[in-house]
Amino acid sequence: MRKPFVFVTRQVPEESLVALKVVAEVEVWPEEEIPVPRELLLEKAKIASGLYTMLSDKIDEELLNQAPHLKVVANLAVGFDNIDVKTASERGIAVCNTPDVLSDTTADLTFALLMATGRRVVEAVDYVKQGNWKNWAPLLLAGTDIHHKTIGVVGMGRIGSAVAKRATGFDMEILYHNRSRNIEAETKLGASYVGFDELIERSDYIVCLAPLTEETADLFTYEVFQSMKSSAIFINASRGGLVVEEDLIKALSEEIIAGAGLDVYREEPISVDHPLLRFSNVVALPHIGSASDETRHEMASLVSRNIAHVLRGDKPEAIVNEEVFK
């Protein structure tokens, strides 16, 4: 009997596909950085039992309507806003992701981004490389302290909690806002639950780690940036869609906030002439939150295991729409 067909939309480590190849015929789009063309994705979806996907792949109603054999869509990410989960659930299609495995790695990067922005690390590196360093000066590239400052975490999930844990090592006051209380973060990390407005007004570092939903889309507007301290630094390691980018650009232009550290954007990748790159006080990274060698290999393997479980008729290790298996 012929094995079910699974299409992988980006080149991933070959060893991560071992578990998947036991149960399925696997075809891989042979590019690591170039997304699979939409037309080809639609074509492969028509015959696929499983799709191994990236955040850049739009798995919408149009695609799902043309995928009669599809049983599972598994993202190489903790996020899944690229997938129409409602339609998938209605059709009995499992939607999988890769939570937990990337929490610490993404928290490491988020805190590194916070520190790099606060202490002007990238500016300092460029200063040396461009031959501008002539002598020591008392306030040369003086940034702002991290220790004993107030960090405000918007989205106290797994990654937010891991960032807050790192903040305790810097004796920071930890504020957080979430759709529900995180009692563990309060008791173990000393975090304080506050309203969104209070967090924005009191925090020295505002760290966005909330998921992109209908409620959080365009959460950070010009008015929100106006409510921040003029010395505040904004960090976004979640999704670009939470920020009205034009408003952030305006806030930076008017020096309403002190700087921004960004790993995500509304449209990715951004071009070299993107307005945000004009600012020396913006640290811009290419969406590498979970990009450690160890974590990306484990994420890739987890996606394969998730798909393999579903194709065998078993519940996957990580599933977004659990109702499919009830």
Asked whether residue 197 falls in the same domain as residue 56, the answer is no
Domain count, the chain: 2
pLDDT at 47: 97
Sheet holding 5-8, edge to edge: 25-28, 5-8, 50-53, 72-75, 94-96
CATH number of the domain residue 179 falls in: 3.40.50.720
Asked whether residue 107 falls in the same domain as residue 187, the answer is yes
Asked whether residue 97 falls in the same domain as residue 111, the answer is no
DSSP code, position 239? -
**What type of residue sits at position 17?**
L
Q: Which whole-number Å values give the CA distances from 44 to 11, 81, 94, 123, 159, in the listed order?
A: 16, 21, 18, 45, 34
pLDDT digits (tens, 9 = 90+) for 63-114: 999 999 999 999 999 999 999 999 999 999 999 999 999 999 999 999 999 9
Q: How would DSSP label each residue in 273-316?
A: T-GGGG-TTEEE--S-TT--HHHHHHHHHHHHHHHHHHHTTPPP
Asked whether residue 81 falls in the same domain as residue 201, the answer is no
Asked whether residue 300 falls in the same domain as residue 311, the answer is yes
Average pLDDT of the chain?
Answer: 97
Asked whether residue 125 falls in the same domain as residue 204, the answer is yes
Asked whether residue 313 falls in the same domain as residue 279, the answer is no
pLDDT digits (tens, 9 = 90+) for 207-217: 999 999 999 99
| CB-based contact 216:242 (threshold 8 Å) | yes
Asked whether residue 184 falls in the same domain as residue 88, the answer is no
Which structural domain range is residue 257 located in?
A: 103-284
pLDDT digits (tens, 9 = 90+) for 267-311: 999 999 999 999 999 999 999 999 999 999 999 999 999 999 999
Asked whether residue 123 falls in the same domain as residue 240, the answer is yes
Pairing of strands 259-262, 150-154: unpaired
Residue found under tokens 């950085």: 33
Catalogue the active-site residues: 239, 268, 287
